[in-house]
Amino acid sequence: MSILARKRPFQDLVALRSDQNDPRSAESAPALRDQSAFLPIDMYQTDDEYVIVAALPGVNADDIDIQATGNELVIKAETKAEEEMNTRNYIHRERRYGRVMRAITLPDGIKPDKVSASFDRGMLTCTIPKQQPVKTVRVDVK
């Protein structure tokens, strides 16, 4: 049986550089690279709010951390590997384990204390109310 391999020259160069700069063993380097894994999102807006949907398969709701400040939303999550992974003789592995993080800067101000989030079947949905623009009011002098 042959082992499947995908050609990924750029990722392989980044991994090689990471391995060279890491004083620990080469076996621990893939876990370190997974810590900065990319978190894909979809984002859209309505008149009153921004909505961000992130795919987090295999993550428990308790392992998600969301922080909102100013006009930025930060999503952090962690997927834990199965304990018996080290005892298996894998031929091919693509699933990632470890931490992911994404900081999203929104175009307008937000109301950080009004952000809500729901998590269903691996999909995280964050609803961020927009800060209403300051209206100019004409004041009559009496």
pLDDT exceeds 80 at position 134: no
109: containing domain: 38-129
Check whether residue 105 and residue 58 sit in a common domain. Answer: yes
Q: Is residue 135 part of a domain?
A: no
- For 59-118, how does the pLDDT look when each residue is reduced to its tens digit (9 = 90+)? 999 999 999 988 899 999 998 877 666 777 888 878 778 899 999 998 877 888 999 999
Side-by-side strand order, sheet with 72-79: 64-69, 72-79, 98-105
Do 31 and 70 fall within a single domain? no
88 or 55, higher pLDDT: 55
Round to whole Å and give the CA distance between 22 and 99.
18
Residues 14 and 70 in one domain: no
Distance in angstroms (rounded) separating the CA atoms of residues 48 and 39: 25
Same-domain status, 29 and 51 = no
* 5, burial (CB in 10 Å: exposed 0-12, middle 13-18, buried 19+): exposed
The pTM (predicted TM-score) of the whole model is: 0.65
60 domain residue, yes or no: yes
Q: What CATH number has the domain bearing residue 93? A: 2.60.40.790
Helix, strand or coil, per DSSP, at residue 100: strand
90 lies in a domain? yes
Let me know if residue 139 belongs to a domain.
no
Q: How far apart are CA 66 and CA 124, in angstroms?
A: 10
